Amino acid sequence: MKIAVFSSKSYDKESFESHNNGVQFKFYEANLNLDTVKLAAGFDGICAFVNDHLDADVLEKLVANGIKMVALRCAGFNNVDLAAADRLGLKIYRVPAYSPQAVAEHALALILTLNRKTHKAFNRVREGNFSLERLSGFDIYNKTVGVVGTGKIGGIFAKMMKGIGCEVIAYDAYPNDELKKAGIEYVSFEKLLNKSDIISLHCPLTPETNHLINAKSFAQMNDGVMLINTSRGALIDTKDAIEALKSGRLGYLGIDVYEQEEQLFFRDLSESIIADDMITRLISFPNVLITAHQGFFTNEALSQIAVTTIKNINDFAAGVENNNEVVLQN
């Protein structure tokens, strides 16, 4: 199989080549879109990431170029038009779980950093400033943590926070009996918003969850609440989050994802003018911490992504049934 890898970085090439067993990869830094889809000509399949465009127009051009399968090297597939893929007979595969611990641990890192301001302390000490002024935080112990979405990542995160000594409540359309046995209470979404000191989002992006956190949601939260998002950027209405930060309703915001991240994340823009007014406004708040889709980024996760993606490609080539295929639900 000859595979064109889009949105690739040096670490993608290194991990894929170290685990390869027969696939011919060609790595492109460019995102997949209507302008770059021509790069797929001559390949059997493509490998795509979270910010690649896989809408109907792109999928049709991929098929016209001879592409037979798409291997997503991520868990989410909200950027894929599954109806168009089904109509075109194009097989879509994903990596459903690579290191849920990595993302859950990153969510905890955002909480601890925002709370205890270790990022600010680091910069102060480097400048010879050993003052503790304005670095105070709060005990996370005994606080109420609301977990929205208790799949693999959300479940691990919930157990972590329980282990720290928090009261953990959760909202999910499909409650997890194991988590219930661990002492985690499932409540309504409204109750979670109203009761939580810290809210962490771990649900997929769907039409139903798009802007799940909006002005109405913020109005139901306690003043000074901490909100963490390591899932998908569009779960939060950024404009409403900025207003909640300005009013003080939102006391802390930690995000590893951003709804307009496609033009920003995974790039070095340090010498560029950033035209996105909302991200620059968020950066200006002292109680906002932004990382650039870093949650998955561990050695273990990169290895698992490569191994699973290569297996998906080889299974397709051999005609072997694979549970990682994304099938349109009727």
- Answer positive or negative: Cα dihedral of 268, 270, 275, 281: positive
Considering the chain, what percentage of its residues have pLDDT values greater than 90?
95
- Looking at residue 245, its pLDDT comes to 98
Q: How far is CA 285 from CA 60, 69, 114, 256, 305, in A?
A: 43, 43, 12, 16, 34
The whole-number average pLDDT for the span 117-126 is: 97
Domain count, the chain: 2
Within this chain, do residues 233 and 267 fall inside the same structural domain, yes or no?
yes
Q: What residues are annotated to the active site? A: 232, 261, 293
- Looking at residue 330, its pLDDT comes to 64
Check pLDDT > 90 for residue 99. Answer: no
Check pLDDT > 70 for residue 115. Answer: yes
Check pLDDT > 90 for residue 328. Answer: no
Check pLDDT > 90 for residue 315. Answer: yes
The whole-number average pLDDT for the span 171-195 is: 97
| In-domain check, residue 209 | yes
Within this chain, do residues 199 and 311 fall inside the same structural domain, yes or no?
no
Tell me the C-alpha distance between 87 and 239, whole Å. 36
Within this chain, do residues 130 and 218 fall inside the same structural domain, yes or no?
yes
Within this chain, do residues 254 and 105 fall inside the same structural domain, yes or no?
yes
- Looking at residue 76, its pLDDT comes to 85
Number of neighbours of residue 16 by Cβ within 10 angstroms = 23
Quick: pLDDT tens for 58-87: 999 999 999 999 999 998 898 999 999 999
| Residue 98: pLDDT band with limits 50, 70, 90 | confident
Task: Give the chain's mean pLDDT.
Answer: 96
| In-domain check, residue 327 | no
- Looking at residue 329, its pLDDT comes to 77
- Looking at residue 147, its pLDDT comes to 98
Within this chain, do residues 9 and 93 fall inside the same structural domain, yes or no?
yes
Check pLDDT > 90 for residue 270. Answer: yes
For 326-329, the CB contacts below 8 A with 24+ separation are 326/72, 326/77, 326/80, 326/82, 326/92, 326/93, 326/94, 327/86, 328/82, 328/83, 328/85, 328/86
| In-domain check, residue 330 | no
- The residue segments making up the domain with residue 106 are 100-290
- Looking at residue 89, its pLDDT comes to 95
Within this chain, do residues 226 and 129 fall inside the same structural domain, yes or no?
yes
Give exposure, 107-135, as e/b (b: 16+ Cβ within 10 Å). bbbbbebbbebeeebeebeeeeeeeeeee
Within this chain, do residues 175 and 126 fall inside the same structural domain, yes or no?
yes
User: Which range among 124-133, 207-216, 241-250, 261-270 shows the weakest confidence by mean pLDDT?
Assistant: 261-270
The whole-number average pLDDT for the span 258-274 is: 93
Considering the chain, what percentage of its residues have pLDDT values greater than 70?
100
* N- to C-terminal Cα separation, the chain: 30
User: CA nearest 218: which of 247, 244, 189, 251?
Assistant: 244
Within this chain, do residues 120 and 268 fall inside the same structural domain, yes or no?
yes
| In-domain check, residue 329 | no
Within this chain, do residues 115 and 244 fall inside the same structural domain, yes or no?
yes
For 195, residues 6+ apart whose C-beta sits below 8 A from its C-beta are: 144, 146, 169, 187
Domain holding 22: CATH number? Answer: 3.40.50.720
Within this chain, do residues 173 and 194 fall inside the same structural domain, yes or no?
yes
Within this chain, do residues 192 and 81 fall inside the same structural domain, yes or no?
no
